[in-house]
Amino acid sequence: MKNHHTSLFLIELLLGILAFLLASALCIELFAKSYLLNQDSKNLTNATRIASNVAEIYKAHKLESSYSPITYFNSSWVKVNHQDENVMHYTISDDILHIQIKHKNKTIYKLSVNQGSEADA
């Protein structure tokens, strides 16, 4: 009889450990997803800030002295002189500035601005 109780106890203990492991795996997955979402949010915020700055400089007619048509930024979104993971590219056609910002070759933000009007996302 005592052997039967020991077997039930071990099965119950294993089921408890299994439940704990499943809950732990779910929590780790949620933390990883939240970290990636946070990084994406930071990148989008920085891309929006840079595009807004470039648009304001364009409206002030001083764009060519501040930014080149292709400008690179490092992982902290600081302007650098060499190719890095973040790039801002702009073109001007018919007095409309087109800004495209990429993170690791994926477009994360686009903005078009008329010389004398408000920005159009």
Mean pLDDT by 10 residues, the chain (121 residues): 76 95 97 95 95 89 75 92 91 89 95 72 54
pLDDT of residue 116: 67
pLDDT of residue 118: 52
Helix then strand then coil, in percent of the chain rounded to 5, is 50, 25, 20
Dig out the tokens for 26 from the structure. Answer: 């779910």
**How far is it, in rounded angstroms, from Cα 91 to Cα 6?**
75
Contact present, 96 and 114 (Cβ < 8 Å): yes
pLDDT of residue 49: 95
pLDDT of residue 4: 72
